[in-house]
Amino acid sequence: MRNIKLKVTYDGSCFHGFQVQPGLTTIQGLLEEGIQALTGETVKVIGSGRTDAGVHALGQVVNFRTTSSIPIARWKPALNSRLPKEVRVIEAQEVPEEFHARYSAVAKSYRYLIVTEAPVNPVLDRYSWRIDKPLDRKAMQEAARLLIGRHDFAAFQTSGSSAQTTIRRVIRSELSLIQGVFPPAWGETTVLAYDITADGFLYNMVRNIVGWLVKVGEGTLDVAEAAKIFAAGDRSLVGKPAPACGLWLMEVQY
């Protein structure tokens, strides 16, 4: 059996998340159908993680096993010709038998986009969270830095998760401003980006962190209170997770 690794990018607004669900269009489902159409085999596509409905990916990684002899260079164009244009295979690679998109991952990076006080822009709103008031970026940055290192992230886990431990190591957690035109028909806009890299993520962790950061930015929580909530590990104190549409899976490291 060959083991094939794919790097995939998608616009999550068009699909019901990553994981196969009967009767719904999902990324995993589309990839499995595409591979089946190419090889005649029923394959199981393993993702680095499940992205929820509405979450986008710049660099999702998946793998699957096949007996097909299709040359490795053919997989990308052949699959892309069978996928909707909102899902694109960026690269295909043959990997050792033991490679597993989920268990072999050593780190993952997410970006969350927030737009404040920007002119009405329905396109940008598909890919970010619009908050119609100014945010205190300095306070948010301070709160974001609290997360760096090895900590218990139970406060940011939505229940229903099967994770055995809520300890994770966060390598990067910071805010920055991105200036640009999104899409190119609009004028210049400034977007607030929150970047987080960790050795693993709990269910809804990034969206819960962003909800908590925005409370700090709005002044509902000061940094000391935010730190207490994080330390207490009580999900109920964190508030609502940020909407899915602002979240981007940027990269998976192996």
Which residues belong to the active site?
A: 52
Tell me if 248 contacts its own copies by CB under 8 A: yes
Q: Taking the complex as a whole, how short is the minimal distance between the CB of residue 224 and its own copies, in angstroms?
A: 31
113 sits near its own copies (criterion: CB under 8 A)? yes
- Among the listed residues 136, 186, 199, 237, the single contact to its own copies using CB under 8 A: 186
Classify the C-alpha dihedral 135-137-142-143 as positive or negative: positive
Is 9 an interacting residue with respect to its own copies (CB under 8 A)?
yes
CA dihedral 115, 140, 161, 250 (to 10 degrees): 50
Spatial separation of the C-alpha atoms in residues 112 and 128, rounded to whole Å: 7
- In the complex with its own copies, the residue whose CB is nearer, 4 or 113, is 113
Rounded Cα gap, residues 80 and 34, in angstroms: 9
244 is a site residue for its own copies (CB under 8 A): no
Helix/strand/coil for 74: helix
Residue 60 Cβ, how far from its own copies at the closest point, in Å?
12
Residue number, 13 or 68, with CB nearest to its own copies: 13
Q: Which listed range, 6-14, 23-31, 47-55, 208-216, lies at the site for its own copies (CB under 8 A)?
A: 6-14
Cα–Cα distance, 14 to 27 (Å, whole number): 10
- Calculate the alpha carbon distances from 246 to 5, 71, 126, 186, 242 in Å: 26, 37, 8, 19, 8
CB of 76 to its own copies, least distance (A): 9
Number of residues that bind its own copies (CB under 8 A): 33
Block residue for tokens 């990916």: 57
- From residue 217, alpha-carbon distances to 133, 223, 228 in Å are 10, 9, 16
CA distance 104 to 252: 10
Minimum CB distance to its own copies, residue 89 (Å): 8
Residue 92 binds its own copies (CB under 8 A): no
Report the distance separating Cα 254 and Cα 198, nearest Å: 12
Stretch that binds its own copies, among 133-141, 180-188, 196-204, 233-241 (CB under 8 A): 180-188
Q: Which of 123, 161, 220, 231 binds its own copies (CB under 8 A)?
A: 123
Q: Is the dihedral of CA 26, 31, 34, 40 positive or negative?
A: negative
Q: Does 180 bind its own copies (CB under 8 A)?
A: yes
State the pairing for strand pair 56-66/2-10: antiparallel
Residue 191 makes contact with its own copies by CB under 8 A: yes
- 178 belongs to the binding site for its own copies (CB under 8 A): yes
Query: What residues make contact with its own copies under the rule CB under 8 A?
Result: 9-11, 56, 58, 85-88, 90, 111, 113, 120-128, 178, 180-186, 191, 193, 248, 250
